[in-house]
Chain A
Amino acid sequence: MKNPLDSLWGTVIAGVVLTGVLYVFANNFLIGG
């Protein structure tokens, strides 16, 4: 599989996805847990 960080769009999309994952994690396990 190609590394998403090799493309700018892949980098930006990976960053947005990571934001969502961390947001759900924080709300469920750090704040609401």
Chain B
Amino acid sequence: MGIFRWVHFMAGVMWIGLLYYFNFVQVAALKAAAADGTAVGISKHVAPRALLFFRWSAVVTWLAGAALLGPRFVPAFTLQPETAFIGIGAWLGTIMIFNVWVLIWPNQKKILGMVSATDDEKNKARRVAFLASRTNTMLSIPMLFFMGAGVHGF
């Protein structure tokens, strides 16, 4: 179990760290960079690399968390009283990984030009990816509370 906890923490730090980088740093940096014509440096060289580690660390975090739950997996996800807190954390993390792979990544591919899209589609993709990313930032706050409280109490 110790190895799963270790991997869960390391991958989780990378996932949420990059999520906070996108929301607290890159969104504002891209706006400023667009104003002086340097945004391409971020969108060409930084964002694709950050997104690569972001989406795969999310997968590793979720799988290591599921392994860590072990026999408590079903009681946690069915919110049984003895695993209610860790279960809420697990559900929030699961919603977040869904957002990463279903809403953020497919739309970022359009925004960054990895798949073809019209300007109209890119604008729509920008809004969906932004709101999904902000939703995950919001959900990370109770997620971290319930993950910690589920194991250590509050």
Contacts and interface: CB of A to CB of B under 8 A. Distances in A.
Interface residues of A, number: 16
A30 B154 CA distance: 16
A30 B79 contact: yes
Interface size bucket, B side?
10 to 19
Contacts, number: 44
Main secondary structure of the interface of B (DSSP, over half): helix
Contacts of A5: 131, 134-135, 138
Interface string A1-16: 0010110100110111
Interface of A: 3, 5-6, 8, 11-12, 14-16, 18-19, 22-23, 26, 30-31
Interface of B: 23-24, 79, 81, 84-85, 88, 131, 134-135, 137-142, 145-146, 154
